[in-house]
Structure 1
Amino acid sequence: MDTLERPHIEVSHYTYRVAWSVDDDEFVATVVEFPSLSWLAPSQIEALEGLETLLADAIVDMQEEGEDVPKPIAERSYSGKFNVRLGEKLHRDVALRAAEENLSINQWVVRKLMADC
């Protein structure tokens, strides 16, 4: 099936960023779920539209090849849990900082992450 015959693929739920590229002297659009894809254009809108078209084509190609298509981050489920391995010294330092603030390690880490997100 060539590009003109390809069905419309919904790509609006993916995570995009459009930024000015000093090196390219144009706007570059990227999509988090597909880090190898990008599109350059003179305007932000053109960069985003070009990337959305490229992404739709890439998804069709992946489907035709039987590849798994990444789900948009916004549509993924998260348990609220993840494990982090720390070195012994860092673990001790984090435990001390949490104790000084009368918090569990988990509470202390969550506060630190929230401050950065």
Structure 2
Amino acid sequence: MSVDHYTYRVTWSPEDGEHVGLCAEFPSLSWLAETPEAALKGIRQVVADVVAEMQTAGEKIPSPIAEKHYSGEFRVRIPPEVHRALAMQAAEQGVSLNRLASAKLAA
């Protein structure tokens, strides 16, 4: 498994006054740097080091999000009054509740 398949992001940290590199699969890890490129390089190295340590210790390594299979289904619990309001909106628009909810989530 390659650490290149993980989900990396670089953003500006106003608190630190630097760019911060992040990895979605390892939310506790980060790397601060003056440039976005250095932040990305730093977080990728940190992840590679952590994965190597986990392999040595025989620990389970997180799978990259991009390589996971998603069924396209999940359950969401909402208050009954919200359910009713959404059902009414769906009926008024002439679409299924599923179609309405999917469109709202995609927006």
* TM-score bin (small chain): over 0.9
Residue 66 of structure 1 and its aligned partner are, at CA, apart by 2.0
Distance 1:106 1:66 in 2: 42
Match of 2:102 among 93, 110, 113: 110
Dislocated runs of 4+, deviation >6 Å: none
What residue in structure 2 maps to residue 41 of structure 1? Answer: 33
Distance 1:107 1:70 in 2: 32
Equivalent positions of 1:79-90 (< 5 A) are: 79-90=71-82
Match of 2:15 among 23, 26, 31: 23
Unaligned runs of 5+ in 2: none
Moved more, 64-73 or 105-114: 64-73
Residues 56-80 of structure 1, C-alpha deviations (whole Å, 9 max, x = no match)? 0101111222221111111110011
Residue 69 (structure 1) aligned with residue 61 (structure 2): yes
Taking structure 2 as the reference length, what is the TM-score of the superposition? Answer: 0.93
Residue 10 of structure 1 and its aligned partner are, at CA, apart by 2.4
Unaligned runs of 5+ in 1: 1-8
What residue in structure 2 maps to residue 50 of structure 1? Answer: 42
Residues 1-52 of structure 1, C-alpha deviations (whole Å, 9 max, x = no match)? xxxxxxxx72111111111111111110001111000000111111111111
Distance 2:20 2:56 in 1: 28
- Equivalences, count: 107
Distance 1:67 1:102 in 2: 51
| Percentage identity across paired residues of the two chains | 49
Residue 100 of structure 1 and its aligned partner are, at CA, apart by 0.9
Backbone CA RMSD of aligned residues: 1.2
Amino acid of the structure 1 residue aligned with 2:86: V
